[in-house]
Amino acid sequence: MGTIVESWTEWDPLRHVIVGRATDCHIPPNEPALEAKVPEDSDMRGQHGKRPQEMIDKGNELLDNFAAMLEGRGIIVDRPTPTDFSLPVTTPDFHTDSQFGCMPPRDVLLTVGKEILEATMSYRCRWFEYLCYRPLMQRYFDEDPGFRHEAAPKPRLTDADYHDNYLSEKIGVEQRLKWAAEKHFVTTEEEPLFDAADVLRFGKDLVVQHGFTTNLKGIEWLKRHFPDHRVHTVNFPGDPYPIHIDATFTPLRPGLILNNPQRRLPDDQRGLFERNGWEIVDAAQPAHNQPPALCYSSVWLSMNVLALDDKTVCVEASEVYQADQLDKLGFEVVPVDLRDAYAFGGGLHCCTADVRREGGLQDYFP
């Protein structure tokens, strides 16, 4: 059977998915967007170059096992084609010495209905990452006459895209939280910027985090691009490094969302959910005090879960508290060993991108 691209939510029954790869993943050299994002106490500060091969092999083994488990449940799995990430990126506007990788397709590809949209991205080292998915996009285009392959305008990513007061090694969490509350993020409003992982799909509604990787112009661009959707902007002022919404706010099924208790959705942004009877519950505590070595993400990858349908959720195997909470909320929990792949770009939601989930477009917030 040929491919069908169609997915409207984060929880409808998953039938076809892309799972990333750790192959050739690099720690990119410093650049403005990364400088602001890498936590000040991180072991990654000042490092760059290809990641250790034994860590890459282990990451790939876990990603391959995850893909095989999904296939065992009847889900079609596709994989990206890595490019040579040691190559520099040079445009008329910027140069950076190496690239990143293709473990987290969720950051790059936004599937909305029958469309897959390549995000602008906001890091220079990730400017060409969409190329890893082009072989798949070409195949989907050939196989599915209804597939819309779209790419948002490539940004210039000059220094004008970044606030220089973020470009300092020592800002301090207090100052960062103050800026987050003021909605002063590293990216400026020079041009539209968004990462796909700042967007959550709730049928007719798209919920988008304004933060380091997505600016207001990026959200305005999404509004104009999806005129039949309602696009909502959200912020989580408790997050000093606000990138990607999927370790902060996790819809699990119609009516239920997990929210990171350190990054609660402010009261004045809850109306949409409350008016429609949705429950927003605090996520369980992570099982770990620290992320694994050389990892960009926080311990809250515990809540970066992948719903296979509205009753079944994949949870990282060591995240026992998160698994227990989901079990109590009535889900079948599928444990997946992925922690040693976190360093390549995230958890179970990050390392996947939807191609097809069953079910059509619904209005959950009428």
Residues marked active site are found at: 195, 244, 350
Q: Does 198 bind ligand NVA (CB under 6 A)?
A: no
Residue 284: CA count within 13 A, CB half-sphere = 19
Query: 113: how many CB neighbours lie within 10 A of its CB?
Result: 18
Least separation in angstroms between residue 70's CB and ligand NVA is 20
Q: Which of 18, 119, 199, 243 binds ligand NVA (CB under 6 A)?
A: 243
Q: Does 31 bind ligand NVA (CB under 6 A)?
A: no
Q: Does 212 bind ligand NVA (CB under 6 A)?
A: no
Please report, as a single letter, which amino acid is at residue 239. Answer: D
Closer CB to ligand NVA, residue 157 or residue 343? 343
Closer CB to ligand NVA, residue 180 or residue 206? 180
Q: Which of 247, 257, 314, 351 binds ligand NVA (CB under 6 A)?
A: 247
Q: Does 297 bind ligand NVA (CB under 6 A)?
A: yes
Number of residues that bind ligand NVA (CB under 6 A): 11
Least separation in angstroms between residue 250's CB and ligand NVA is 10
Q: Does 234 bind ligand NVA (CB under 6 A)?
A: no
Q: Which of 112, 346, 351, 355 binds ligand NVA (CB under 6 A)?
A: 346
Please give the span between the terminal C-alpha atoms of the chain, in angstroms, as a whole number: 35
Closer CB to ligand NVA, residue 24 or residue 246? 246
Q: Does 126 bind ligand NVA (CB under 6 A)?
A: no
Stretch that binds ligand NVA, among 23-31, 43-51, 168-176, 237-245 (CB under 6 A): 237-245
Q: Which two three-digit tokens encode residue 354?
A: 């939807």
Closer CB to ligand NVA, residue 13 or residue 237? 237
Q: Which of 10, 246, 310, 316 binds ligand NVA (CB under 6 A)?
A: 246
Closer CB to ligand NVA, residue 112 or residue 301? 301
- Which residues of this protein are in contact with ligand NVA, per CB under 6 A? 241, 243-244, 246-247, 297-298, 300, 304, 346, 350
